[in-house]
Structure 1
Amino acid sequence: MDGSRRDQVIRECLAKPGSAEDYPFGDEVAVFKVAGRIFALVPLGPPPGSISLKCDPDLAADLRARHAAITPGYHLNKRHWNTVALDGSVPDEELLELIEHSYELVVARLTGAQRRELMT
């Protein structure tokens, strides 16, 4: 990833169709939503930072077992969310796949009309 990892994950989140950046919890956390539903949270504190992502529960447990940098979601449903430290220990490709996975999980729960709107 070029630039800071946090800047890159923010760009990646914003590149998703229909993605919107919001600050419902104050200026310290960038929240990324699609059709009003959260798929990523990025605290804006000191580096290296982290990103919290929605995740299939079985995959979430597997990821936590494989990576010390992946922990249960901070202040989130620990079964369905992981927090990934942006310390470089999770390979860039895998991190980008996890962002995509989170986005796809949220999109899958949208109505058909909402999904079609994302395609336009």
Structure 2
Amino acid sequence: MNYEWLDEYLLSKLGVTKDFKEEWEWDRYLLNGKMIAAICTDKTGKEIITLKCEPSFGEELRIQYEDIIPGYYMNKVHWNSVYLEGEVPDEVIKDMIDQSYELIFNKLSKKMQNEIRNGDKND
């Protein structure tokens, strides 16, 4: 994997936890039980990270980078997968992570958002 910083960056987001979905063999990063990211392998064994993006942003990225594809085993409009042996710049992946986090965070109730902002980041 070219992006050794991924786990630390994802877990640095307020309220994000990590689990392993055994039946899928996915490391999932969750915010209030909702997935913001998943790291797994595709059917050929290549490692990928899957992230939620605004549809137009995701489409733009897929045009610009051959290592970004429609979400693996996810809704192809809202989710995108990045090959972790690829050449996508770190900053692009960080932007994708930030957007995925914000999309999920903004759908939470105001009460839950405040609890996450005011609580320990990994409660």
Say if 2:95 is the partner of 1:97. yes
SS at match of 1:7: coil
Match in the other structure for 1:49: 47
- CA deviations over 1:11-66 (Å, ceiling 9, x no partner): 11111100010123447210000011100000168986210000100111111010
Gaps of at least 5 residues in structure 1 are none
Gaps of at least 5 residues in structure 2 are 119-123
2:11 to 9, 14, 39: 14
Match in the other structure for 2:108: 110
- Contact map agreement 2:53 2:78 (CA 8 A) in 1: yes
The within-5 A match list for 1:49-88 is 49-88=47-86
Identity, % of aligned pairs?
32
Q: Which amino acid aligns with 1:66?
A: Q
Q: Which protein has the bigger helix share? A: 1
Cα 1:34/1:23, change in 2 over 3 Å: same
User: Where do 4+ consecutive residues of structure 1 move more than 4 Å?
Assistant: 44-48
- Contact map agreement 2:71 2:79 (CA 8 A) in 1: yes
Cα deviation, residue 5, structure 1:
3.4
The within-5 A match list for 1:30-41 is 30-41=27-38
- Contact map agreement 1:6 1:50 (CA 8 A) in 2: no
SS at match of 2:66: coil
RMSD between superposed Cα atoms in Å: 2.1
TM superposition score normalised by structure 1: 0.88
Q: Which amino acid aligns with 1:12?
A: Y
- Contact map agreement 1:6 1:49 (CA 8 A) in 2: no
- Contact map agreement 1:6 1:48 (CA 8 A) in 2: no
